Chain A
Amino acid sequence: MRGRMNAGLLVGGVLVGIVVLAALVSFFWTPHDPTLVDAARKLREPGGGYLLGADKFGRDTFSQLMVGARTTLYVGIVAVGIAAVIGTPLGMAAGMTPRGWLSELIMRVNDLVFAFPALLLAVMLGAVYGAGTLTAMIAIGVATVPAFARVARAATLQVMVTDYVLAARAAGRRRPAIAFRHVLPNIGSVLIVQASVSFAIAILAEAALSFLGFGTRPPTPSWGRMLQESQELLFSTPRLALWPGLAIALAVLGFNLLGDGLRDFLDPKLRRIRAEG
């Protein structure tokens, strides 16, 4: 199937593309100042330059959504980056020395970190240092490390028994050389798929944390907090919950479809190593 486009990849790509575009454009332009509080526009109905209306503080919903996309991507990129940078080498090291003490230690620590979900880490960090975007990103990133490490390890184990690695080892190449020249390029596609799936999970986690007040702090717009603020108005103005909810769901759907689509696109063999959620 290598190289063949599939519907999931296309839809996922378009959804992710929209989020990225909204985030990029928001740096230069939004219809209104997303943080501008204006009592006169309180709960303004959609229309007249306010495409999706305004919230209880009179902030323009559409502008908030655009900047919220930026927050979401920012948290996702940093969190997945942390997870990939820490998890990948650990997983590779464990996979290249499958019977050594190092591998055992890495996987044990991995299991332990796994017992600390993003939310608990964020709450602990928040309790100690005060909650914010930074603590949320670190918590989500650290909690995602085990998924990367496991997938990197599984893929490395497969690469290590291929003929070219066996040949390189027989030729006396040292482990770091093998890791960079053979293993990393060959597990790259697995990691890209994992990154996409992890990104979706990071978006969910960021939304949940902001909803609980452990993520992005006001006034920076965030989809999760928009939802939280809209909850009390669910009876009177349900549209305030609708838009951020839709944004979260479509962004997550986009990254999940992109991950699945990439998996099929890059290599059908990858289906054996499932990205971890």
Chain B
Amino acid sequence: MLKVDGLTVRADSVELVHDVSFAIGPGERVGLIGESGSGKSLTALSLMGLLPEGVAASGMARLGDRDLVGVPESRIKELRGRKMSMVFQEPMTALNPLMRVGAQVAEVMTLHGKPRHEARARAVELLERVRLPEPAQIARAYPHQLSGGQRQRVMLAIALANEPGLLICDEPTTALDVTVQKQMLELIAEVAPALLFITHDLAVVASVCERVLVMYGGRVVESGPIREVFTRPRHRYTEGLLAASKLTPRGTRLPAISGSVPPAGRFPGGCVFRNRCPQATPACETAPELTGDAHAFACWHPAD
């Protein structure tokens, strides 16, 4: 359903995302993980045509039979909110503070052709569907009267309103309290059609997704079914992420990967991870290809 091939994102001369390829089938749930600065969000935003000013995508991305990259905004905007939707990280600022919540949910439907009164009624249903208590009352509220968790549910209601085929969630629970996070994840897992779920939290991916893409330095370094990637990581970066994550039992947890993510454009040539990789050798100065079918990885010295 979604097919991405050779997606590259640039800001001026700096390459932020390099040659990313993946596909998501109908109803499939795919996680996209990596530290901040790895290019996850830019990948998602380029699919939605929402890249910030001065940042441009090239390559191929197709939703059904519609091209997403390299087409004018007038062509892609009719897909947004109808065929694909996105929920963002920061619920506190994602809603218009001057507009009632119900109207903001209804807007996404009237924009794509639903009559106003129908959209209003359906907005309340949607608020109920995302398990907001007293949906009719919430529809009349302004965003500042809701909590962060409630606002994120409103965002989800907006995203689901037109029954899109693909839902993209960019760290949707990062800004929420832990207890609220769990409810939100359960809700997303329950209502999402095909899903591209972006997070840096491996435990979250494990609970929501079937397949995972690991990104580092603007590249996909490993991909495959969750179970396989998480139990038998091949790329050294994935290995490091897992070792440092909550998925590894306390006590056997290894220290986090040494060093920090370089700023955009400062990644080393060849394998982007080699300056932080304990296994790096001169061979790593040549960029490794992403190889393998179901479980693919791009590493010269893979873990077993």
A and B touch in the complex (CB under 8 A): no
B residues sitting closer than 8 Å to A (CB atoms) are none
